[in-house]
Amino acid sequence: MTKNDFKLAWRKLLKNKGFTLLNIIGLTLGFTGFILSYQYINRETSYDKWNPHYKDIYQIGLEAEGAFTDETSPSLAPLLKQNLPDIVYAGRKIVYNYGSYPLFGEKTVLIKNAALIDSSAARIFQIENATGPLYKNKDQKDATMVKSHIAEQLFKKEDLNFDSPQSIPAISLALGVQETIYGTIKEQGLSMIDYDLLFIREPQDLFANNNPFLYQTYIQVRPGTDITKLTNRINALYQKEIAPKDKIRSSSYAKGRIYLDPLSNLHLRPKTGSNTAYIITWIIGILSVLILLLASANFANMIMAQADQRIKELALKKILGSSRWAIVRQLVLEVFILTFSAAILSFVTLALTGNI
């Protein structure tokens, strides 16, 4: 394949500028639509996949009369950890659902996305401090952290390394409440635990039996654990130790059964929510393939539309001594140039729109 072959193919495409432009635009739209769809599907299905224990993490919930809930007693997690050796960690999470949580630093920041987790949940979801260990000494009981962009608004630049904890007013200046921040949340991949403010603490009274709050409970099991058997054992413990308690006994979940929902299901199709997002990803995936097929069909039709004209041209070349391989080579080069140009234009379009 010589330089002259490229020149001939390029000149042929320039000679039919309108045809060439339409072909490139059609392919560009097809490539762009397919890549955007792939990016969306890849993002939606990648939550927590970076976690090395992704396949061993489950959320515990309750099912009663066809209804599902992911809210469980705060005493469930420590009970499971104490009694079931197949469970490596059992952690709890509760989302702060009382509006914004104001912090008063160099600037006032209204946190609208906050949650409380215990140290076991932090281990399960690989929560780390970007400025050092999560717990910097044995006497530290809390490990409250904020995201880096929040820390930059709350603290002076020289304090962002968090060599020592930083206390700032919270909730209300008049009340004198102080919140101690121990560092910034280390950036990880997409995760179900994604909050601007994370309270990491486990005071005993918070998880006492008379606690009025319900928590989401997560477990990390040992690789190879029989999940069906484990579910039955958890259910037996729940019925024996938790269901008879006053707050549970009076609810419909007193006779409920435990279920384990794998981490891989929690973002797109949790038992406690809608699977609409999961269906949408399938629809977008099917549409992306159709878009690419339509773009390819359009490209083929555009090529075939010039068949009569090209047959005469190629027949003349054959008469003048061109070999069959030389003719095929020119046609392949023309298709390659069109396809490559469309691919480059597609990536440029994605880059300009911030999708790469």
Instruction: Please give the pLDDT value at position 309.
Output: 63
Q: What is the pLDDT of residues 90-148, one digit of tens each?
A: 999 999 877 788 999 999 999 999 999 999 999 999 999 988 888 877 778 788 999 99
DSSP H stretches of helix in 238-322: 246-249, 263-266, 276-305, 307-319
- The residue ranking higher by pLDDT, 355 or 269, is 269
Which bin fits 48, alpha (ψ -120 to 50), beta or left (φ > 0)? left
pLDDT of residue 18: 73
Of residues 202 and 286, more confidence is placed in 286
Contact 148, 188 (CB under 8 A): no
Q: Exposure of 2 by Cβ count < 10 A (0-12 exposed, 13-18 middle, 19+ buried)?
A: exposed
Residue range 155-166, pLDDT digits in tens: 998 888 888 888
Pick the more confident residue, 247 or 160. Answer: 160
Considering the chain, what is the average pLDDT of its residues? 83
List pLDDT tens digits, range 7-43. 655 666 666 677 778 888 888 888 898 989 999 999 9
Number of H helices, E strands in the chain: 11, 13
Model pTM above 0.95 = no
Which amino acid, 102?
P
What are the backbone angles phi and psi of residue 218, rounded to the nearest 5°?
-120, 145
